[in-house]
Amino acid sequence: MNRTEVFAIIFKRNQGAIMNAVEGLSHAEGLLQLPGDSNCMNWVLGHIATYRDGMLADIGIEEYMSEEETSLYGSGSSPITNDSPCVEFSRLVELQKLTFDGLYGWLKSDPKDLNKETRSDMPFKKGYGGYWGSVVEHLAQMTGHESVHVGELSALHELAKVSMADK
């Protein structure tokens, strides 16, 4: 058991839960709101993808999100509601797959540069790209962060099921 194996286990668990949460849902269901100051599924998915793309940036492999997309889903971004600008649900689902494949594939390739410094030339803010001192620190901080947001999806999935049953 080494550090990359731990990150791979966590990402794989997260990805499984994400794909369960989005299964069978449409764009409209991704905008349903729970009581209080919770975020909708669209925001949570975009937030997860943004922070994953920040990890890909620091690792130095292919990234998938534009500045326009990431600006909607960063830390402190506005809630997304029915009339907000947002990324299409199907694109967000695609981003979950692309970013997972990038991160998981890299982790399973037995990378030797886990301790390398993060980027100092990020062209725009993307998650925590370029923020932490090293790639391993970035992954350690953000895998747990991601899992917590993945947990938020289960109640949103239930909400969507209730909404669909009512139609």
Partner 1 sequence: MELSQIFSLIFARNQSGIEASYDGFEHADSVLQLPGRSNCMNWVLGHIAVYRDAMLAAIGQNTYMSSGDSIMYGYGSQPIYEDSSCLDVGRLIKVLDGGYGVLNEWLEHNHLDFTMITPGELYVRKGDTIGEHLAHLLAHEAIHVGELNALRELALVRLGKGWK
**Site residues, partner 1 (CB under 8 A):** 1-3, 5-6, 9-10, 13-14, 17, 33-38, 115, 134, 136-137, 140-141, 143-145, 147-159, 161-162
CA terminus-to-terminus distance, the chain: 49
Cβ at position 37, least distance to partner 1 in Å: 5
Q: Which is nearer to partner 1, 5 or 67 (CB)?
A: 5
Cβ at position 107, least distance to partner 1 in Å: 12
Cβ at position 97, least distance to partner 1 in Å: 19
Q: Which is nearer to partner 1, 58 or 63 (CB)?
A: 58
The upper half-sphere exposure of residue 84, i.e. CA atoms within 13 Å in the direction of its Cβ, equals: 21
Q: Which is nearer to partner 1, 57 or 160 (CB)?
A: 160
Q: Which is nearer to partner 1, 43 or 63 (CB)?
A: 43
Cβ at position 98, least distance to partner 1 in Å: 21
Amino acid at 72: L
